[in-house]
Amino acid sequence: MMKYSLYPGCSMEATAQANLKSIIAVAKALDLHLEEIPDWNCCGATVASGVVGDFTQQVMTARNLAIAEAKGLDVVVGCSSCYLSLAVTNKRFKEDEHFKAKANEALAAGGYKYDGSLRVRQFLEVVINDVGFDKIKARVKKPLAGLKVAGYVGCQTVRAIPYEFDDPEYPVQMDKLMEALGATATKFPMKARCCGSSNAIAATEIVIDQAYKIFESASEGGADVIATPCPMCQLNLDAYEQMVNQKYGTNFSLPILFFTQLMAVAFDLPADAQALSYCINSPYQALASYGVAR
């Protein structure tokens, strides 16, 4: 059994509970043990630094790494934005001595210290590199044969640290994962396009216009569903699909799922692990052939 520290992040407790439920269940099915970092705090996403600056935001993020360092396990992150914060901060601790000294001076004010010894990783990358496609294939009980999946990787997953595990321009790893589950990855030129991120509240139009381009591209590729690793991408597409239809006169009805939900379906895990009821645009029809229960 492989052990990891888990950084869930705020969205996993609210808008993206389906992500956390499916991550935990899929990890268990693959014999990966995830231990939540005790008393973790918000990473600040890409928003906090617009108010208090990068340094303060990164120090705040580093409190989580300092707590996790006691166990020495790789830190696994599900959310793309949390991953960006934690991975970039971690990289600076490893590469920039001046930053590390300053950051530790600030951490010391709260009684923490971080040596920079950990690895920060995305759950998607852990599944692909530590488990591997062969073992995943072997675990599949209900192959997703015939399901056409648009693999929407989004922006920060592959560009937080470019070329870390996939091509930042045209990522392919999640497509390969979908094929390992028996599904067909569709042609999807907008797979790494931004969804509009946190503008959903303050400038909704941005999200609607971005989402339109993404739905159009996924539709042209013939997708039945969109799969993503990112809570922000999932929420923006799922919550605003009907507003896209209203604005553009389109008729999109694509369900948007976390890749881990599709893994849970293919692994034939219980309904609670698949967490499909959290989807605003119903995935039940698209997944009917794979025995999903409401």
Residue 60 sits in the site that holds another protein (CB under 8 A): yes
Residue 127 sits in the site that holds another protein (CB under 8 A): no
Which of 194, 225, 263, 273 binds another protein (CB under 8 A)? It is 194
The smaller minimum CB distance to another protein, of residues 58 and 219, is found at 58
Scanning 98-106, 129-137, 179-187, 264-272 for contacts with another protein by CB under 8 A, the matching segment is 98-106
Closest CA to 139 of 184, 186, 177, 185: 177
Which of 147, 226, 235, 262 binds another protein (CB under 8 A)? It is 235
Closest CA to 232 of 173, 152, 131: 152
What b/e sequence results for 13-32 when a residue is b if at least 16 CB atoms lie within 10 Å of its CB, and e otherwise? Answer: eebbebbbbbbbbbbebbeb
Q: Judging by beta carbons within 10 Å of its beta carbon (0-12, 13-18, 19+), is residue 206 exposed, middle or buried?
A: middle
Residue 202 sits in the site that holds another protein (CB under 8 A): yes
Which of 22, 90, 156, 219 binds another protein (CB under 8 A)? It is 156
Which of 2, 140, 172, 243 binds another protein (CB under 8 A)? It is 243
Helix (H) or strand (E) holding 122: strand 120-122
Residue 36 sits in the site that holds another protein (CB under 8 A): no
Q: Hey, is 24 helix, strand or coil?
A: helix
Q: Hey, is 228 helix, strand or coil?
A: strand
Closest CA to 235 of 253, 251, 258: 258
Distances, alpha carbon 118 to alpha carbons 68, 146, 213, 265, in Å: 8, 40, 38, 32
Residue 191 sits in the site that holds another protein (CB under 8 A): no
The smaller minimum CB distance to another protein, of residues 134 and 294, is found at 294
Which of 3, 31, 36, 41 binds another protein (CB under 8 A)? It is 41
Residues forming contacts to another protein in the complex (CB under 8 A) are: 10-11, 13-15, 17, 39-42, 44-56, 59-60, 63, 84, 102-103, 105-112, 155-156, 159-160, 162, 168, 192-194, 196-199, 201-204, 206, 210, 235, 239-240, 242-243, 277-280
